[in-house]
Amino acid sequence: PGIYYRSELDHNGISVYTGTIISDWGGRLELEIDRKARIWARVSRKQKISILVLLSAMGLNLKEILYNVCYPEIFLSFLNDKDKKILGSKENAIMEFYQQFACVGGDPVFSESLCKELKKKFFQQKC
């Protein structure tokens, strides 16, 4: 358990900074800062999502996120119109998260069962 930091070169030879948070029960979340200073959360080895979408899906709104970071202008610099719409509500962020990581097909509709499924898959203790 703990927080681990490292710097690696990507396939283009550019430094990418990562931090891994490992909980007591073995859950793992990897954060990555790319060359454009965007922060991503890797939920699996191949898939990543904007840290803003992840935090919004966990219940924080954009105002709360920006209030609690040291350099809010960094977060604001890479927000596009799609991200602003997603961050407009917790439900939109959960839907985006679900579509990227858990949706097998179709067009999901927000529901409590969808929230429970995501919580079980990504945020609850495995053992």
Question: Which has more pLDDT, 3 or 90?
Answer: 3
- pLDDT value of position 112: 72
Q: Which CATH number fits domain 2-123: 3.40.50.300, 3.90.1110.10, 3.40.50.280, 3.20.20.10?
A: 3.90.1110.10
- pLDDT value of position 62: 86
First to last CA, the chain: 15
- Phi-psi map region of 37: left, alpha, beta (phi>0 left; psi -120 to 50 alpha): left
Q: For the segment 2-16, what is each residue's pLDDT rounded down to a tens digit?
A: 899 999 888 888 888
